[in-house]
């Protein structure tokens, strides 16, 4: 208790001392972290309120409150999805080209948050009672599309702002941890309060409930969200060395060649078939509890709010357990556990669907296991990007994401049509008769159908993941080791080594070789699980051991030959342009920005200088990559001197 008390006192003292001024080596004071985090409660409140306006029969607002037919909503959803294919790249282009004295992301917290809140509030107060069916349908669609122009900016600006609040990666991680904990209060509060409000305003299947909910959480949330704009700063540090962008189609081609990307994509596309099973939570614990427990509308709201709060709490123990499980069994097995556990839960839901409280237990367990994906998806995505960087030298976060996203969009459209039109509407008869969900005779077969489709989805998803996603923790560790070695080699070649960087790389290589030889010796006499474990370890360590011979491999030798041929010509001969100097960009970057006029001038000059550089790097991308490759060949030729000799000899080689 004494130690705990001392820690608490130390934390309080640190907060007081660094409330307005950040600690040594940090950039963000505590008051700014608090402003960002509390503002996040407002941002997330707006986002979760907007989610009520959905083009789906599973939306209580669209289906029950407005009485819109399932088939019509599916058609409009397809139209909106196609339009969304163009809106996504447009949003990225606008944000990437934002040059404002207020920053790159903060302006959108102001310009899109309040309009989003106002828009959903206006929608709630439209005179739906006197509107025709088509008027209600198109009012929903137009509002939905207008929101697509606002809230994605709002959500993305908040999520990305933390990445530019500090250039310190450790500090960014700390801010994300604190802010996530604080702004997660928003969905918890809404999950409890919204059903209770709805219970006293006619229920979520009546428009009156939304005329209370949307002003409170829409406009109210947007006002709180302003804190994340007024209380924060962007601290973007621009390097003097310009990094060329990967051309769009070259990035797409690299993504297509990434086998682990395909494994994860195929898996996620099959998992889309499980979307229908998620509706069972609403069908049984909104409609079903009123029918099964004979509740009034007010009691229904309180009970639904309570059950949803308990359901939301399933994520907490799962998140605490996740780091332990990942360390114990690895991310691949952790993800397999998530899918197998879901199959178990769905089987339980199917056979216990007549017993509402047993069903709730399985639904809760499914919520627990689904939380695993929140951690696993991001972690595995980072591993795949590390592999991509190891294979090609490029990360390609955006380009690989767009490739998967475009294909996934069309697959999602097909799955949506299958579930909502073919199955729900045509087979089970759910169109605009949402009150039938209060009847067990209608609710049960529909739910069982969704469970069976979800089971098929998870079983199919296991196949590509188990067979194609073979990336182990040991292999990923070796990829990171190689990337560190390559970084040290490049920095050595450009005389920009940081303290201890080359020494760390040398140690990584020496330790890996030692472990590699030791593991091979132990493998000879090993049996059973130990032999299998050593085989996996040896395979991973080969990645590091073989790095020395990187340019002796046939595929790399072919690349070198092609690069030599390209570099035998000048840039002027190949592209009809000259390579621009960095002077103009560096001069613009050095301009002051203390006043609004200075900031505008700097922004304009940087934009002008960047255009020239962008044009060059776009046209001469292959030439630049060839030049970079030949530099790598040069410093790999000194591998033995750099990694197997003393520091004095290394300096001689450099000279």
Task: Encode pLDDT of 222-231 as tens digits.
Answer: 999 999 988 8
Max CA distance (Å), the chain: 87
- Taking 3-state DSSP, the helix, strand and coil percentages for the chain, each rounded to the nearest 5, stand at 80, 0, 20
Asked which of 32-36, 59-63, 224-228, 362-366 is least confident by mean pLDDT, the reply is: 59-63
The residue count for the chain: 655
Lowest mean pLDDT of 219-233, 434-448, 603-617, name the range.
603-617
CATH of domain 18-243: 1.20.1250.20
What number is the average pLDDT over the span 350-365? 94
Among the listed ranges 60-69, 108-117, 421-430, which one has the minimum average pLDDT value?
60-69
Residue 651 banded pLDDT, cuts 50, 70, 90: very low
Which pLDDT belongs to residue 456? 96
What does the alpha-carbon distance between residue 576 and residue 567 come to, in Å, rounded to a whole number? 15
Percent of the chain exceeding pLDDT 70 equals: 85
Q: Give tens-digit pLDDT for 470-492.
A: 998 889 889 888 888 887 777 77
Task: Provide the pLDDT for residue 7.
Answer: 52
d(CA 468, CA 462): 10
What's the CA gap between 55 and 81, in Å, rounded? Answer: 10
pLDDT, residue 640, reads 79
Of residues 143 and 235, the one with the higher pLDDT is 143
Query: Average model confidence (pLDDT) for the chain?
Result: 81
More confident residue, 97 or 142: 142
The pLDDT assigned to 168 comes to 53
Share of the chain above pLDDT 90, in %: 26
Class of domain 249-471: mainly alpha
Instruction: Give burial (CB, 10 Å; 0-12/13-18/19+) of 246.
Output: buried
Averaging pLDDT over each range in 185-194, 216-225, 605-614, which range is the top one? 216-225
Structure tokens at 507: 């140690």
Give the residue, 367 or 634, on which the prediction is more confident. Answer: 367
Of 92 and 156, which is predicted with more confidence?
A: 156
Contacts 24+ apart (CB under 8 A), 158-161: 158/39, 158/40, 158/43, 158/105, 158/109, 158/225, 158/228, 160/105, 161/36, 161/105, 161/106, 161/109, 161/228, 161/232, 161/234
Q: Taking the model in full, what pTM does it have? A: 0.69
């Amino acid at each position: 208790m004494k130690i705990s008390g001392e820690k608490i006192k130390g934390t309080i003292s640190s907060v007081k001392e660094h409330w307005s001024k950040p600690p040594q080596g940090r950039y963000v004071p505590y008051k700014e972290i608090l402003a960002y985090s509390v503002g996040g409660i407002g941002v997330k409140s707006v986002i979760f309120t907007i989610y009520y306006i959905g083009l789906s029969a599973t939306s209580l607002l669209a289906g029950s409150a407005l009485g819109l037919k399932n088939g019509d909503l599916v058609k409009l959803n397809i139209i909106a999805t196609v339009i969304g294919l163009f809106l996504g790249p447009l949003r990225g282009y606008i944000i990437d080209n934002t040059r404002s004295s207020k920053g790159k992301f903060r302006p959108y917290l102001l310009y899109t948050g309040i309009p989003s809140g106002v828009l959903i509030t206006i929608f709630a107060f439209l005179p739906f009672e006197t509107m025709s069916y088509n008027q209600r349908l198109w009012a929903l669609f137009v509002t939905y599309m207008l929101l697509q122009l606002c809230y994605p900016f709002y959500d993305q600006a908040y999520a990305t702002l933390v990445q530019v609040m500090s250039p310190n990666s450790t500090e960014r991680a700390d801010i994300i941890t604190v802010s996530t904990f604080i702004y997660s209060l928003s969905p918890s509060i809404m999950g409890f309060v919204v059903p209770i409000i709805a219970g006293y305003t006619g229920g979520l299947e009546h428009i009156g409930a939304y005329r209370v909910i949307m002003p409170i959480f829409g406009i109210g949330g947007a006002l709180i969200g302003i804190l994340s704009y007024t209380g924060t700063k962007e601290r973007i540090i621009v390097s003097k060395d310009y990094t060329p962008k990967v051309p769009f189609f070259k990035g797409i081609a690299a993504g297509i060649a990434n086998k682990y990307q395909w494994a994860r994509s195929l898996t996620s596309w099959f998992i889309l078939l499980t979307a229908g099973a998620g509706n069972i939570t609403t069908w049984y614990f909104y409609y079903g509890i009123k029918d099964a427990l004979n509740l009034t509308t007010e009691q229904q709201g309180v009970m639904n709010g309570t059950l949803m709060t308990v359901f939301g709490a399933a994520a907490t123990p799962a998140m605490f357990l996740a780091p332990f499980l990942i360390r114990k069994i690895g991310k691949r097995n952790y993800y397999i556990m998530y899918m197998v556990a879901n199959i178990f839960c769905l089987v339980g839901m199917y056979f216990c669907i007549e017993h509402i409280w047993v069903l709730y237990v399985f639904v809760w367990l499914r919520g627990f296991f689904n939380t695993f994906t929140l951690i696993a998806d991001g972690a595995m995505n980072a591993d795949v990007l590390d592999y991509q960087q190891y294979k090609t030298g490029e990360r390609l976060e955006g380009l690989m994401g767009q490739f998967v996203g475009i294909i996934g969009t069309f697959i999602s459209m097909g799955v949506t049509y299958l579930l909502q039109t073919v199955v729900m509407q045509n087979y089970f008869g759910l169109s605009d008769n949402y009150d039938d969900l209060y009847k067990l005779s209608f609710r049960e077969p529909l739910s069982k159908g969704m469970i069976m489709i979800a089971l098929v989805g998870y079983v199919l998803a296991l196949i590509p993941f188990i067979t194609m996603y073979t990336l182990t923790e040991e292999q990923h560790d070796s990829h990171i080791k190689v990337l560190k070695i390559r970084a040290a080699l490049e920095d050595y070649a450009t005389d920009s080594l940081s303290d201890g960087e080359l020494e760390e790389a040398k140690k990584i290589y020496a330790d890996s070789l030692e472990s590699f030889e030791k593991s091979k010796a132990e493998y000879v006499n090993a049996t059973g699980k130990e032999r299998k474990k050593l085989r996996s370890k040896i395979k991973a360590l080969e990645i590091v051991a073989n790095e020395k011979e990187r340019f002796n491999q046939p595929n790399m030798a072919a690349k070198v030959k092609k690069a030599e041929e390209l570099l035998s010509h000048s840039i002027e001969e190949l592209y009809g342009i000259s390579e621009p100097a960095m002077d103009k960009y560096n001069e613009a970057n050095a301009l002051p920005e203390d006043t609004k006029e200075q900031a505008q001038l700097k922004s304009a000059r940087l934009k002008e200088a960047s255009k020239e550089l962008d044009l060059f790097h776009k046209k001469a991308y292959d030439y630049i990559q060839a030049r970079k490759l030949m530099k790598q060949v040069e410093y790999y030729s000194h591998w033995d001197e750099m990694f197997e000799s003393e520091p004095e000899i290394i300096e001689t080689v450099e000279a």
